[in-house]
Amino acid sequence: MEQELKEFIKFKKNYKFKQLDIIEKDGNLYCEDTLLKDENGYVGETDKWVNVGFSLRGMYPKLLSNLFPYEFTFKSHKLNSIECFFQGIKFKDKDLQKKLFKYSGKEALVLQKASNYNWKETGIIYWQGKPIKRDSKDYDKLIDELYISAIQNEFYRNAIKNCNLPIIHAMGEIDKKDTVFTRYEFEFMLNCLHDFLNK
């Protein structure tokens, strides 16, 4: 895995990513001139893109979601989904963080409300007791390692590799102050991983 992480970091440095625009027209959202959201909610898959969301229709929207229950090992910890990491880092207490890793992604999403720490007030998250600035190179390195660890799960690896459409995450937050992983960061990561795995 270490070698693959090194190769990915090198690949990512030179990766040219163009985020697809989301445009509002007549009260609806469009991406690439294709309906993305109307009164019925978000669209999951079209012939132009895949919009990731665990509750959306279609296979890829679910398979590529951080909530999907892919088991993998990250820094000697067994995680039951990528979401477990993203919710776990909102806990200052490393023992509670470890316990959270045993839950599913959907459960972890709910359990983060049980944290006594509000990372948004400080801009600092915690990995096993170590404080890390959300907007820092150390955090970015941690995320790179997280996703390279996650693709060691063959199902997740193949889901990303086989998705041959641009990957978007329309419901993602935009500002780093509001989320531990923005829409841009998510889309960049998954599209970059797809191209890296198919290089």
pTM: 0.95
Rounded to whole angstroms, the Cα distance separating 51 from 63 reads 11
Model confidence at 15, pLDDT cuts 50, 70, 90, reads: very high
Instruction: Kindly report, residue by residue over 90-145, the tens digit of the pLDDT.
Output: 999 999 999 999 988 889 989 988 888 999 999 999 999 999 999 999 999 999 99
DSSP state letters, 118-181:
-HHHHTEEEETTEEEESSSHHHHHHHHHHHHHHTTSHHHHHHHHH--S-EE-TTS---TTT-SS
Instruction: Kindly report, residue by residue over 20-70, the tens digit of the pLDDT.
Output: 999 999 999 999 999 999 999 999 999 999 999 999 999 999 999 999 999
Give the max Cα distance, the chain. Answer: 50
Q: Give me the torsion for CA of 111, 116, 118, 123, rounded to 10°.
A: -100
pLDDT of residue 114: 87
Does residue 196 have a pLDDT over 90? Answer: yes
Does residue 73 have a pLDDT over 90? Answer: yes
pLDDT of residue 138: 97
Angle between helices 154-162 and 183-197 (to 10 degrees): 90
Q: Is 59 helix (H, G, I), strand (E, B) or coil?
A: helix
Does residue 171 have a pLDDT over 90? Answer: yes
pLDDT of residue 113: 85
Q: Which of 4-13, 98-107, 154-163, 175-184 has the lowest mean pLDDT?
A: 98-107
